[in-house]
Structure 1
Amino acid sequence: MAKQHAHLMGLVGKMIPPLSPKLHKGQAGRIGVLGGSGDYSGAPYFSSMGAMRFGADLAHVICQPDAGAVIKTYSPDLIVHGHVLIIGPGLGRDDHMQNCARIAFELAKKNDQMGVVVDADGLWLVQNDPMVVLDWPGVPRVILTPNIMEFKRLCQALKIDPNSDVDTLCPQLARALQNVTIVQKGSADIISNGLVITSELLGDGAQSEILKGEVEGGLKRVGGQGDILSGSVGVLLAWGSEWVRGSYEHVGHPPPKSKAIAENIPLLAAYGASTFNRTVSRRGWERKGRSMVTHDLVDLVGPVYEEVFGKPETGEEKGKL
């Protein structure tokens, strides 16, 4: 498993763009968060700020007006207006915001440049209206990040027995949702898009329907930890999509030649973000113990990024600028 983990993280590392003056603002990630309501202003902040600290160039928040004024006070680095990528943190379940999310899904389906990460009350929408993630053109650019209860409700909505073998549930749900990628959060994160993961991705000659994120996490679960996960998933999905499109070739970072890798960017993004988020949780717990809160984890994003992925690579290091 250690060899497989190293191989997968090596592939994830290839998605990360080098730092270079030849890249313009936005090419290293424009992350949008659709969420934030009167009662929930913290979640979109943690998701978007987690994305910024992870390495995104820009983070946009689309929210209810009464939440916008509050979120702006948290950080001047966040742009509180329209863009779509991460749907759900702090969204709420009232009809207006749920309908906004429904429209965002439809717009994203029509934009072949955009991927979508779905968390929290975005998953509530998927549970009640699975069509929002169905009929995606080509390989679905959608990643769901449900916790234990959210996953159970999704299974029940799709008529899947939640008491089935734990290693088969995630692939079953992914197939029922037309091969979206799912991060089933738990003591070990189970990740699947419902398809057979080839030996090319696993690196050890094996095949499987699931990846397991088994890196040790912290012993305390805090509200907002999943929002940091959604932010890092969003950044890796953005980086991977730009890598595949050749956006980084001019800075010495050519796109993958492998079709299997190119078509599984959501799977790799989910695995890399799971590894990162579990490590952040562990480092936060080691420093703060029971007093750990999500702000502590935001402060650790930079150093843990370097621990997991290494120091940021520059174009000059490749000698191709």
Structure 2
Amino acid sequence: MSAQIDQHEHLLSLVRRMIPPLSPNLHKGQAGRIGVLGGSGDYSGAPFFAAMGAMRFGADLAHVICEPAAGAVIKTYAPDLIVHTVLDSSLPNGLDVAHEELVSLMERLHVLVIGPGLGRSAFMQSCARLAIQLARERDIGVVVDADGLWLLNSEPDLVRDWPGAKRVVLTPNIMEFRRLSDAMGIAADSCAELARALGGVTVLQKGAVDCISDGAGGLGKGDTLTVAVQGGLKRVGGQGDILAGTTAALLAWGREWARGAYAHVGHAPSDEDAAVVDHVAVLAAYGASAFNRTVSHVGWERKKRAMVTHDLLDIVGEVYEDMFGQYEAEDNKGKL
């Protein structure tokens, strides 16, 4: 148990290295521009929780790309979000319109989350396919969740052997993991095997204990990291969406840090950070998993059976400060 705790603290210390400091020399948008593609007519809550989860965690900007019906509702939830109602199946050239808008939006994003509230209609699945293809052509980080994973069941080549696979994270729950494994012909319940079959993308397998792997290993014993941080005893819809959003925020920070985007504020990789740079996606998944399990536990302790996802969203900032903020305060002493 002691060794497990030591490894957990070590991995969190690596996650902290990727987080940009709060600095007056960072302008709006440098600390994370996140997109969430989803939000069909029936599901407006999921993209809201993913986008707001990313912003409450610390990302600067969040865009939601959705159907008009979902967008009208999401705009009433939070004016903090930038909502693009460009996925419109009622238009005869709806996919062409979506393509044009997505090309423009991709230039503004560090990471795109694909799937929350997406639904399984042919049109919305086509929009997700288009978004993945565009992200693959550009240097955009990708988190695939929920019905984005449904698309990969039939089209795994959309992410398989992705150039620079360290920028792709899949977040399947138990059933989604089984479907993906079946689609890839993997009999064993192995997170690492699925990651390898997909060419090195990072898989965050959600469960009683979360498992994370890119198939290669290099950060701990073996090729799979496990997260056994205690969560809450009530599962509510929307927790996975907050996980997807916070994973995206950490992935954005990690990738920007690794490429030297924060060097001007004294935050750049050193020679000792080679392992962190090589495992940004795995560490983003690990940090987000540990964080969201902690959020769930704190929410459960306070609300018990009455806990809903809004309760969790409300404490994201508080839990962030407990897990990561105190270290920022120590690092920034005398700098501001």
- Normalised-by-shorter TM-score class: over 0.9
Identity of aligned residues (%): 65
Task: Choose which of 190, 198, 203 in structure 2 pairs with 1:177.
Answer: 198
Residue 320 of structure 1, CA deviation = 5.9
Other-structure match for 1:24: 27
How far the C-alpha of 1:256 sits from its partner, in A, is: 4.0
Q: In structure 1, what is the equivalent of residue 261 of structure 2?
A: 247
Query: Is the 8 Å Cα contact of residues 146 and 184 (structure 1) preserved in structure 2?
Result: yes
Answer yes or no: is 1:209 the counterpart of 2:230.
no
2:306 equivalent to 1:291: yes
* Equivalent of residue 223 in structure 1, options 225, 232, 237: 237
Check if 1:134 corresponds to 2:155: no
- Is 1:190 the counterpart of 2:217? The answer is no
SS in 2 for 1:310: helix
Report how far residue 313 of structure 1 moved: 2.7
Superposed displacement of residue 316, structure 1: 8.5
Q: Which runs of 4+ in 1 moved over 6 A?
A: none
- TM-superposed CA distance for 1:306, in Å, is 1.0
SS at 1:93 equivalent: coil
Matched, 1:63 2:66: yes
Aligned-residue offset at 1:135:
3.2
Aligned partners of 2:166 and 2:280 also within 8 Å? no
Deviations 1:182-231 (A, max 9, x none): 11100100001111x22xx33xxxx3110001100000110000000000
Give 3-state SS (helix, strand or coil) of 2:64's partner: strand
User: Separation in 1 of the partners of 2:256 and 2:204?
Assistant: 22
Shift of 1:311: 3.4
Secondary structure of residue in 1 paired with 2:24: coil
Among candidates 245, 248, 251, match of residue 234 of structure 1: 248
User: How many Å separate the matches in 1 of 2:307 and 2:153?
Assistant: 31
Contact 1:139 1:263 in 2 (8 A): no
Distance across 1 between alignment mates of 2:210 and 2:225: 8
1:272 and 2:275 are equivalent in the alignment: no
Q: Which secondary structure does the structure 1 equivalent of 2:326 belong to?
A: coil
Would you say the 8 A contact 2:162–2:201 is kept in 1? Answer: no
Q: Which SS does the other structure have where 1:80 is aligned?
A: strand
Equivalent AA in structure 1 for residue 22 of structure 2: L
Match of 2:120 in 1: 93
Measured in 2, the distance between the counterparts of 1:111 and 1:54 equals 25
- What is the match of residue 103 of structure 1? 130
State the one-letter code of the partner of 1:268: L
Q: Cα offset for 1:62?
A: 0.3
Q: Tell me the alpha carbon deviations over residues 54-105 of structure 1, each in whole angstroms, 9 at most, x when there is no partner.
A: 0000000000111111110100000012456000000011111111111111
Who is 2:77 aligned against? 74
CA contact (8 A) 1:46 1:228 kept: yes
Give yes or no for contact 2:141–2:168 (8 Å, CA) kept in 1.
yes
Deviation sequence 1:281-319 (CA, Å, 0-9, x none): 000100000110000000010111111113373699265
- Provide the C-alpha distance between the structure 1 equivalents of 2:6 and 2:77, rounded to a whole number of angstroms: 41
Q: In structure 2, do the counterparts of structure 1 residues 106 and 318 end up closer, same or farther at CA, with 3 Å as the change threshold?
A: farther
Size of the aligned set, in residue pairs, is 308
Question: Partner amino acid for 1:93?
Answer: R
Classify the secondary structure of the residue corresponding to 1:266.
Answer: helix
CA distance in 2, matches of 1:214, 1:314: 27
Q: What is the root-mean-square deviation in Å for CA atoms of aligned residues?
A: 1.6
3-state SS in 2 of match to 1:11: helix
Query: Amino acid of the residue matched to residue 142 of structure 1?
Result: V
- Kindly indicate whether the alpha-carbon contact (under 8 Å) linking 1:20 and 1:316 is maintained by their aligned counterparts in 2: no
Are the aligned partners of 2:166 and 2:279 in contact in 1 as well (CA < 8 Å)?
no
CA distance in 1, matches of 2:185, 2:56: 39
The aligned residue for residue 173 of structure 2 is 147
Q: Secondary structure at the match of 1:221?
A: coil
TM-score (norm 2): 0.88
- How far residue 111 of structure 1 moved from its aligned partner, in angstroms, is 1.4
Gaps of 5+ in 2: 85-104
Cross-structure match for 1:35: 38
For 2:29 and 2:239, how far apart are their aligned partners in 1? 25
**1:91/1:312 Cα in 2 relative to 1: closer, same or farther (>3 Å)?**
farther
Equivalent position amino acid for 2:138 in 1? N
